[in-house]
Amino acid sequence: DTEVTQTPKHLVMGMTNKKSLKCEQHMGHRAMYWYKQKAKKPPELMFVYSYEKLSINESVPSRFSPECPNSSLLNLHLHALQPEDSALYLCASSHPDSGEYVGELFFGEGSRLTVL
Amino acid sequence: EDKVVQSPLSLVVHEGDTVTLNCSYEVTNFRSLLWYKQEKKAPTFLFMLTSSGIEKKSGRLSSILDKKELFSILNITATQTGDSAIYLCAVEAWHFNKFYFGSGTKLNVKP
Protein backbone atom coordinates (compact mmCIF):
# COMPACT_ATOMS: atom_id res chain seq x y z
CA ASP A 1 0.00 0.00 0.00
CA THR A 2 1.24 3.45 -0.91
CA GLU A 3 1.96 5.79 1.99
CA VAL A 4 1.02 8.79 -0.09
CA THR A 5 -2.74 9.13 -0.29
CA GLN A 6 -4.46 11.08 -3.05
CA THR A 7 -8.11 12.04 -3.33
CA PRO A 8 -10.20 11.85 -5.34
CA LYS A 9 -9.05 8.92 -7.46
CA HIS A 10 -11.18 10.10 -10.36
CA LEU A 11 -12.54 13.55 -11.13
CA VAL A 12 -14.65 14.78 -14.02
CA MET A 13 -15.13 18.52 -14.30
CA GLY A 14 -16.35 21.10 -16.72
CA MET A 15 -14.24 23.97 -17.95
CA THR A 16 -15.97 26.44 -15.64
CA ASN A 17 -15.75 24.35 -12.48
CA LYS A 18 -13.48 24.84 -9.52
CA LYS A 19 -12.16 21.69 -7.88
CA SER A 20 -9.22 20.57 -5.78
CA LEU A 21 -6.95 17.55 -5.67
CA LYS A 22 -5.61 16.52 -2.28
CA CYS A 23 -2.51 14.66 -1.21
CA GLU A 24 -1.45 13.50 2.24
CA GLN A 25 1.63 11.76 3.58
CA HIS A 26 2.71 10.85 7.09
CA MET A 27 6.27 9.78 6.45
CA GLY A 28 7.75 13.01 7.77
CA HIS A 29 8.86 14.06 4.30
CA ARG A 30 9.41 17.78 3.91
CA ALA A 31 9.38 17.86 0.12
CA MET A 32 6.20 17.31 -1.85
CA TYR A 33 5.59 17.34 -5.58
CA TRP A 34 2.88 17.53 -8.19
CA TYR A 35 3.48 15.71 -11.47
CA LYS A 36 1.23 15.53 -14.51
CA GLN A 37 1.25 12.39 -16.63
CA LYS A 38 -0.42 12.04 -20.00
CA ALA A 39 -1.04 8.63 -21.51
CA LYS A 40 2.12 6.82 -22.60
CA LYS A 41 4.30 9.73 -21.44
CA PRO A 42 6.60 10.09 -18.44
CA PRO A 43 5.59 12.20 -15.45
CA GLU A 44 6.16 15.92 -15.98
CA LEU A 45 7.08 18.01 -12.98
CA MET A 46 4.67 20.82 -12.15
CA PHE A 47 5.51 22.04 -8.64
CA VAL A 48 7.83 21.27 -5.75
CA TYR A 49 7.34 22.36 -2.16
CA SER A 50 10.25 22.18 0.23
CA TYR A 51 9.60 22.87 3.90
CA GLU A 52 6.12 24.08 2.94
CA LYS A 53 7.51 26.72 0.60
CA LEU A 54 7.14 26.62 -3.15
CA SER A 55 10.60 25.97 -4.53
CA ILE A 56 9.87 24.98 -8.14
CA ASN A 57 7.12 26.08 -10.50
CA GLU A 58 7.76 24.65 -13.94
CA SER A 59 5.95 27.50 -15.73
CA VAL A 60 2.59 25.94 -15.01
CA PRO A 61 -0.49 27.96 -16.15
CA SER A 62 -2.20 29.89 -13.39
CA ARG A 63 -5.35 27.81 -13.72
CA PHE A 64 -3.39 25.33 -11.55
CA SER A 65 -2.77 26.69 -8.07
CA PRO A 66 -0.81 24.64 -5.54
CA GLU A 67 -1.08 24.97 -1.80
CA CYS A 68 0.83 23.35 1.03
CA PRO A 69 -1.12 24.02 4.26
CA ASN A 70 1.28 21.98 6.42
CA SER A 71 4.07 19.46 6.13
CA SER A 72 1.70 16.54 5.54
CA LEU A 73 -0.74 18.05 3.06
CA LEU A 74 -0.52 19.24 -0.51
CA ASN A 75 -3.42 20.55 -2.56
CA LEU A 76 -3.81 21.42 -6.21
CA HIS A 77 -6.62 23.87 -6.90
CA LEU A 78 -8.09 23.70 -10.38
CA HIS A 79 -10.05 26.45 -12.11
CA ALA A 80 -11.07 27.07 -15.71
CA LEU A 81 -9.24 24.04 -17.01
CA GLN A 82 -9.05 22.99 -20.63
CA PRO A 83 -9.75 19.53 -22.09
CA GLU A 84 -6.01 19.13 -22.77
CA ASP A 85 -5.44 19.27 -19.01
CA SER A 86 -7.02 15.84 -18.74
CA ALA A 87 -4.32 13.58 -17.31
CA LEU A 88 -3.21 11.56 -14.32
CA TYR A 89 -2.00 13.89 -11.58
CA LEU A 90 0.56 12.29 -9.34
CA CYS A 91 1.60 13.53 -5.94
CA ALA A 92 4.95 12.48 -4.54
CA SER A 93 6.99 13.10 -1.44
CA SER A 94 10.61 12.74 -0.43
CA HIS A 95 13.19 14.03 1.94
CA PRO A 96 14.10 17.63 1.14
CA ASP A 97 17.37 18.65 -0.42
CA SER A 98 19.62 19.26 2.56
CA GLY A 99 22.91 18.46 0.91
CA GLU A 100 22.49 14.70 1.18
CA TYR A 101 20.84 12.35 -1.29
CA VAL A 102 17.16 13.09 -1.54
CA GLY A 103 16.53 9.43 -2.14
CA GLU A 104 13.45 8.04 -3.75
CA LEU A 105 10.24 9.73 -4.60
CA PHE A 106 7.24 8.06 -3.01
CA PHE A 107 4.27 8.36 -5.34
CA GLY A 108 0.58 8.34 -4.60
CA GLU A 109 -1.74 6.38 -6.87
CA GLY A 110 -2.79 9.50 -8.67
CA SER A 111 -5.97 11.40 -9.44
CA ARG A 112 -7.27 10.81 -12.93
CA LEU A 113 -8.75 14.06 -14.16
CA THR A 114 -11.08 14.43 -17.12
CA VAL A 115 -12.02 17.92 -18.28
CA LEU A 116 -15.10 18.10 -20.45
CA GLU B 1 19.41 21.11 -21.83
CA ASP B 2 19.15 18.35 -19.26
CA LYS B 3 17.73 15.13 -20.63
CA VAL B 4 17.23 11.45 -19.89
CA VAL B 5 16.85 9.03 -22.80
CA GLN B 6 15.64 5.47 -22.48
CA SER B 7 15.86 2.69 -25.01
CA PRO B 8 14.23 0.76 -26.41
CA LEU B 9 10.88 2.51 -26.22
CA SER B 10 9.11 -0.81 -26.24
CA LEU B 11 10.04 -4.44 -26.06
CA VAL B 12 8.16 -7.72 -26.48
CA VAL B 13 9.68 -10.89 -25.06
CA HIS B 14 8.56 -14.32 -23.95
CA GLU B 15 8.56 -15.66 -20.44
CA GLY B 16 11.97 -16.83 -19.40
CA ASP B 17 13.85 -14.38 -21.59
CA THR B 18 16.42 -11.95 -20.20
CA VAL B 19 16.03 -8.28 -21.03
CA THR B 20 18.29 -5.24 -20.72
CA LEU B 21 16.82 -1.77 -20.54
CA ASN B 22 19.00 1.27 -21.13
CA CYS B 23 19.02 4.77 -19.70
CA SER B 24 21.45 7.47 -20.77
CA TYR B 25 21.52 10.95 -19.33
CA GLU B 26 22.91 14.41 -19.72
CA VAL B 27 22.06 16.16 -16.50
CA THR B 28 24.00 19.00 -14.95
CA ASN B 29 24.93 18.32 -11.35
CA PHE B 30 23.99 14.64 -11.41
CA ARG B 31 23.37 13.20 -7.97
CA SER B 32 21.56 9.88 -8.34
CA LEU B 33 19.70 7.72 -10.84
CA LEU B 34 16.52 5.90 -9.96
CA TRP B 35 14.54 3.14 -11.65
CA TYR B 36 10.78 2.82 -11.28
CA LYS B 37 8.21 0.29 -12.48
CA GLN B 38 4.82 1.64 -13.50
CA GLU B 39 1.92 -0.66 -14.12
CA LYS B 40 -1.50 0.93 -14.14
CA LYS B 41 -1.06 3.67 -11.60
CA ALA B 42 1.74 5.08 -9.48
CA PRO B 43 5.39 4.35 -10.26
CA THR B 44 6.93 2.02 -7.71
CA PHE B 45 10.56 2.33 -6.72
CA LEU B 46 13.09 -0.29 -7.79
CA PHE B 47 16.62 1.01 -7.33
CA MET B 48 18.63 4.11 -6.55
CA LEU B 49 22.18 4.26 -7.91
CA THR B 50 24.76 6.78 -6.88
CA SER B 51 28.15 5.15 -7.49
CA SER B 52 29.64 3.73 -10.66
CA GLY B 53 30.19 0.03 -11.03
CA ILE B 54 28.27 -1.13 -7.99
CA GLU B 55 25.47 -3.47 -8.95
CA LYS B 56 22.19 -3.25 -7.12
CA LYS B 57 20.20 -6.47 -7.07
CA SER B 58 16.71 -7.47 -6.05
CA GLY B 59 15.60 -10.95 -7.00
CA ARG B 60 15.63 -11.23 -10.78
CA LEU B 61 16.25 -7.50 -11.25
CA SER B 62 19.64 -5.84 -11.20
CA SER B 63 20.99 -2.48 -12.19
CA ILE B 64 24.32 -0.76 -12.59
CA LEU B 65 25.49 2.79 -13.22
CA ASP B 66 28.38 4.10 -15.31
CA LYS B 67 29.01 7.73 -14.37
CA LYS B 68 31.84 8.09 -16.85
CA GLU B 69 29.76 7.07 -19.85
CA LEU B 70 26.56 8.53 -18.33
CA PHE B 71 24.26 5.55 -18.52
CA SER B 72 22.59 2.85 -16.53
CA ILE B 73 21.14 -0.52 -17.39
CA LEU B 74 18.34 -2.49 -15.79
CA ASN B 75 18.48 -6.25 -16.27
CA ILE B 76 15.58 -8.59 -15.73
CA THR B 77 16.35 -12.31 -15.91
CA ALA B 78 13.84 -15.14 -16.32
CA THR B 79 11.09 -12.67 -17.16
CA GLN B 80 7.51 -13.34 -16.07
CA THR B 81 4.23 -11.92 -17.31
CA GLY B 82 4.06 -9.90 -14.09
CA ASP B 83 7.12 -7.98 -15.25
CA SER B 84 5.01 -6.39 -17.99
CA ALA B 85 5.04 -2.67 -17.21
CA ILE B 86 6.61 0.62 -18.15
CA TYR B 87 10.07 1.03 -16.65
CA LEU B 88 11.01 4.61 -15.92
CA CYS B 89 14.47 5.99 -15.35
CA ALA B 90 14.83 9.23 -13.39
CA VAL B 91 17.89 11.31 -12.65
CA GLU B 92 18.13 13.52 -9.61
CA ALA B 93 20.11 16.73 -9.84
CA TRP B 94 21.69 18.53 -6.93
CA HIS B 95 19.58 21.30 -5.49
CA PHE B 96 15.90 21.87 -5.32
CA ASN B 97 14.65 18.30 -5.44
CA LYS B 98 14.76 18.19 -9.22
CA PHE B 99 14.12 14.83 -10.92
CA TYR B 100 14.27 14.33 -14.68
CA PHE B 101 12.32 11.38 -16.10
CA GLY B 102 12.99 9.46 -19.27
CA SER B 103 10.14 8.51 -21.59
CA GLY B 104 10.12 4.96 -20.29
CA THR B 105 10.47 1.51 -21.82
CA LYS B 106 7.27 -0.45 -22.22
CA LEU B 107 7.97 -4.13 -21.60
CA ASN B 108 5.47 -6.76 -22.65
CA VAL B 109 6.22 -10.31 -21.49
CA LYS B 110 4.17 -12.93 -23.32
CA PRO B 111 3.38 -16.35 -21.85
- Which tens digits make up the pLDDT trace of B75-87? 999 999 999 999 9
Please give the mean pLDDT across all residues of chain A: 91
Q: If you measure CA to CA, which chain B residue comes closest to A5?
A: B42
* 3 state DSSP class of A85: helix
Of A5, A89, A95, A6, which is closest to residue A50 (Cα–Cα)?
A95
Distance from CA of A110 to the nearest CA of B (A): 6
Reported as a single tens digit per residue, the pLDDT across B9-36 is 999 999 999 999 999 999 888 889 999 9
Binary contact (B88, A43; C-beta < 8 A):
yes
Q: Give the distance from residue A13's alpha carbon to the nearest chain B alpha carbon, in angstroms.
A: 21
Task: Collect all residues of chain A within an 8 Å Cβ-Cβ radius of residue B95.
Answer: 97
Say whether pLDDT at B96 is over 80: no
Ranges of residues in chain A with a pLDDT under 50 are 1
Contact call for A42 and B103, based on CB within 8 A: yes
Name every chain B residue with its beta carbon within 8 A of the beta carbon of A53.
none
Interatomic CA distance for residues A57 and A24, integer angstroms: 20
Using one digit for the tens of pLDDT, what is the confidence trace for B33-62? 999 999 977 889 999 999 888 899 999 999
3-state class (DSSP) for residue B38: strand
What pLDDT, on the 0 to 100 scale, is given for residue A41?
A: 87
Q: Which residue has the higher pLDDT, A5 or B95?
A: A5
Measured between beta carbons, which residues in chain B are less than 8 angstroms from residue A41?
A: 103
Find which of B3, B97, B106 to mutate to test the A interface (most A CBs within 10 Å of its CB). Answer: B97
Whether residues B42 and A50 touch (CB distance < 8 A) is answered with no
Q: B51: nearest CA in chain A?
A: A101
| Contact between chains at A97 and B94 (C-beta distance less than 8 A) | yes
| Chain A nearest C-alpha distance from B104 (Å) | 6
Rounded distance, CA A54 to CA A1, Å? 28
Answer for the pair B23, B9: CB distance below 8 angstroms, yes or no: no
B34·A105 Cβ contact <8 A: yes
pLDDT tens-digit map of A8-22: 999 999 988 899 999
Q: Chain B: nearest CA to A79, how far in angstroms?
A: 24
- Burial of B63 per CB tally in 10 Å (0-12, 13-18, 19+): buried
Main-chain phi, psi angles of A48, to 5 degrees: -130, 130
